[in-house]
Amino acid sequence: MSLFKRIQNIFAKPEPPVQEKSILTVGPSDVVEVSLVTYQVTGKAQNHSRKATMLTLQDGNTIRYLYIEERERTIFHLYSVIDGRLESVEEVPSTIEMDDISYHLEEQYTGRVHVIGKTPFQSSGEQYIWQFQSDGRQLLRIEWQDGRFMLYEGESVLPADVQVLRGT
């Protein structure tokens, strides 16, 4: 190595370390593990005002949704889509009885979401959300956007059960 190259390397700025992907920064084509099941992330919907993200996860033919929200601690909910319909946004009840389980409205909010990849709603825009919980800690989530409802049922997931395996 020449003297000039050595001097140049002394004054060169070191390359910044590669940032590790976190569950909050993953996106389509990344791979995550949730409760010992490996999924590929195929879509992402972010609500920046609530610091919330809904990841679309795929394992073979199975599609699940991981809801992540940063509060005083990060919370995780894993959902599956369920069949059902509601007539209008004004008719969402505060208590829903389904399969002999009573769900009570825990939270209702609206916000703008930004979507990338394959998500239930293919366009960014205003979204209405209702989150319910049963006495047995089971979860129910209703989303409305662009005149269309999506219904999900799920459960809370421990933060230790969520890991990023491979990020791009």
DSSP state letters, 69-112:
EESSSEEEEEEEEE----S-GGG--SEEEETTEEEEEEEEEEEE
Taking only the tens place, the pLDDT of each residue in 113-149 is 999 999 998 888 999 999 999 999 999 999 999 888 9
The domain locations on the chain are 28-158
Rg (CA), the chain: 20
What is the per-residue pLDDT across 49-108, written as a single tens digit (0 to 9) for each? Answer: 899 999 999 999 999 999 999 989 999 999 999 988 788 888 889 999 988 999 999 999
Confidence class for position 21, pLDDT limits 50, 70, 90:
confident
